[in-house]
A and B are shown apart, each in its own frame.
Chain A
């Protein structure tokens, strides 16, 4: 099973998925956030009938439309790529993973696509109320679609609610609610959609700031800043809160990733939280992997222990503990996990042989073992380790994890400050005179995108080598196609997405310069 993976194929398949995901995430967050901002504006128009509010709604809706289409285009690739490039994975977990994708289509995509047509073309065809409801349904549909794909992703990070069936060589769902309310899914969903709200808010704030700098559309700009400022401030606070919750869940579900993004190697109790730091390659190694030392760091003493365990005496495992084991804390070594994984895998092979030889008694016996909770907890949960050749292979890139996490967190605090200042200056009536701040707001439009992409880099690269945590490494999940084919499609996607991005940015800038229609 899954023998001798072609490493070039694995790397190019990963690169293609990363490329698609990164491009997709350039467009989706704005859809998530701007859809609600437009809905809020239209609600105000519906309630007070002011034509200026209608004009504002239509203007931001135009920008929403430009972005929406390209998000849809990149999204379809992600769904089908699970099959085209990760077919072994698709079978191994399709019984669980497919369900959220199907529900996403039935519950969310149809809602979004049906009412987006009413939203764009229905101004003169349906009642004001129906139009408003349609705009809200688009926003809800867009965010519901995020729910289901994030449930699917969270399951990969923390597989729950399933049992392995050796007869079909796949995992099968036994609890839909466990999958849906997986604690990683809940925190991931809230964190991700609130980061989308933040992107939308900063987009509206930045463009409105540009209008104020240019002394154009001042009423529209101030009203937009009021809505984006409040929505953005609330969203950025929610991002911070859910980020904290996400980190706590990661500490339990993916401790190696957690230790990697804090560059934590050897800590037991009273662990410090590194607020800012610079890493350099150490002379020490774990196996053939280099460790990292801090060139400098600013830490909050004991805070990591408080954060993860509730008090300063709480134990936070470092990478060394997680790789080599720590019997006093009940952490088993990766070498031991590899042995247990091999036991489970050998039993699977033995089951197949027994079935082929019609040795039904032996096959039934092994089937019973795979249904036994103790066997699952002690052996099968380490199934993926049977493909790992060296313990240190389960350490993700520490530097990439550390920097992506810290950049994201620093930017998160920066966004709170920007939205708070925007509202403060707006209420004081000094916003237009604070040109430095308007420029800051304009230049900040791209930063939430950076933070969002960093979040996904951390989530996906920080969990390497796993495609499903502890159960399946990426090397075992890939489709059996030539790496040459994937290189070609990678290049085709890269060119096409880049062309589309250039067109989108150009159209967007032009529409902003044109401004709302009179």
Chain B
């Protein structure tokens, strides 16, 4: 019994870590959000350079968080890794492609003899900025809407459609979350530029764009949340090991886990506050409110996807192939070993904060773009 409790505890512990990484990833996609406006936001080439360099100094964090998110999923819930990546092949490959082209675009865009010209690498940044958040959002939406797969007795995945994941893009709710994540990334990207750049015209242009991006984000976000709370969800009965549809499952999850509901509401308030103080009070600190809000809201959403007897990666094709945190997890030993490793995370966060603060202690200026040795 003790072993069982420990294993259950560790499964929950690791779902919390995964949710935290996922929420940090969504926040850090402000980099992608900024990239998606590389052609529409700047008024001149210097402003474009400032945007690229503002985002470019943080792209590694987003990239590393994505890689760590994948690695942590593999280590803690390997059945999700094998079922989702091996099944929804095309969605994940598209996400990967969009991130490959980002990694080199920053470093190569302004270098002489880059063969393909700056415009090509800027298009790479734009594609990553637009497709990355949208596809990741749509993929995460399948945690709530289900996917078309089945598992055999050896836990090997078989996808039920030849589209291998692309069919998820035909679901309106998946599209809504994809677009919500994209416009949230753009909103956070604008807030980050407002916070980090010392150039009046660019800041003013960012504030102007913020209104429309925030509204579009809110429309898609509210559509997704309302349909989520009113729809049936994938309930897991641990006693029988079966998954069934339960009306208002995610609403029930929020009500039955009040702390999660508080986190979610606090997150929504945080995002709205960040936008509000920027638009109405002219504050340049909105990113920290919206960023914290993003982390809290996404964290809470991922918790209601996996906790309280819920399948976090449901199969709408074969309900009993749906993945739950106990069915998909690693062994007790591995989760325990990984828990010890996770104790180092506060140290990692501490040095990231310290290094971030050191680099961001002054806003990016026009002067710096002309004198700095390493410019993207």
A69 touches B100 (CB 8 A): no
Q: A352-B153, A480-B158, A503-B104 are in contact. Are A110 and B333 (CB under 8 A)?
A: no
Partner-contacting stretch, out of A326-334, A377-385, A453-461, A492-500: A492-500
The docked-state distance in angstroms from the alpha carbon of A74 to that of B331 is 30
Most chain-B CB neighbours within 10 Å: which of A84, A85, A109, A115?
A84
A514 touches B358 (CB 8 A): no
B67 touches A99 (CB 8 A): no
The docked-state distance in angstroms from the alpha carbon of A112 to that of B307 is 33
Partner-contacting stretch, out of A199-207, A432-440, A481-489: A481-489
Q: Which residue of B lies closest to A105 (CB)?
A: B68
B75 touches A123 (CB 8 A): no
Q: Does A364 contact B (CB under 8 A)?
A: no
B331 touches A173 (CB 8 A): yes
Q: Does A358 contact B (CB under 8 A)?
A: no
Cβ contact of B61, chosen from A77, A102, A113, cutoff 8 A: A113
B103 touches A73 (CB 8 A): yes
From residue A78, how far is it (CB to closest CB) to chain B in Å? 10
Within A84-116, which residues are at the interface with B (CB < 8 Å)? 84-91, 94-99, 101-107, 109-116
From residue B206, how far is it (CB to closest CB) to chain A in Å? 21
B78 touches A94 (CB 8 A): yes
Q: A76-B96, A101-B75, A481-B86 are in contact. Are A88 and B63 (CB under 8 A)?
A: no
Q: Which residue of A lies closest to B333 (CB)?
A: A173
Q: Does A118 contact B (CB under 8 A)?
A: yes
Q: A94-B81, A481-B164 are in contact. Are A77 and B341 (CB under 8 A)?
A: no
Q: Kindly supply a per-residue 1/0 record for chain A positions 485-518, scoring 1 wherever the CB is within 8 Å of any chain B CB and 0 otherwise.
A: 1000100100010011011101101110010010
Q: Does A126 contact B (CB under 8 A)?
A: yes
A98 touches B359 (CB 8 A): no
Q: Does B82 contact A (CB under 8 A)?
A: yes
A485 touches B89 (CB 8 A): yes
Q: Does B289 contact A (CB under 8 A)?
A: no
From residue A147, how far is it (CB to closest CB) to chain B in Å? 14
Partner-contacting stretch, out of A163-171, A234-242, A296-304, A465-473: A163-171
Q: A74-B100, A106-B68, A106-B348 are in contact. Are A507 and B164 (CB under 8 A)?
A: no
The docked-state distance in angstroms from the alpha carbon of A290 to that of B232 is 62
A499 touches B68 (CB 8 A): no
Within B83-117, which residues are at the interface with A (CB < 8 Å)? 83-87, 89-90, 92-93, 96-97, 99-104, 106-108, 111-116
Q: Does A245 contact B (CB under 8 A)?
A: no
Residues of A close to B79: CB separation below 8 A: 91, 94
Residues of B close to A85: CB separation below 8 A: 86
List residues of chain B with CB under 8 Å of any chain A CB: 57-58, 60-61, 63-64, 66-68, 70-76, 78-79, 81-87, 89-90, 92-93, 96-97, 99-104, 106-108, 111-116, 153-159, 162, 164, 330-331, 333-334, 337-338, 341-342, 344-345, 348, 351-352, 355-356, 358-359, 361-362, 372-374
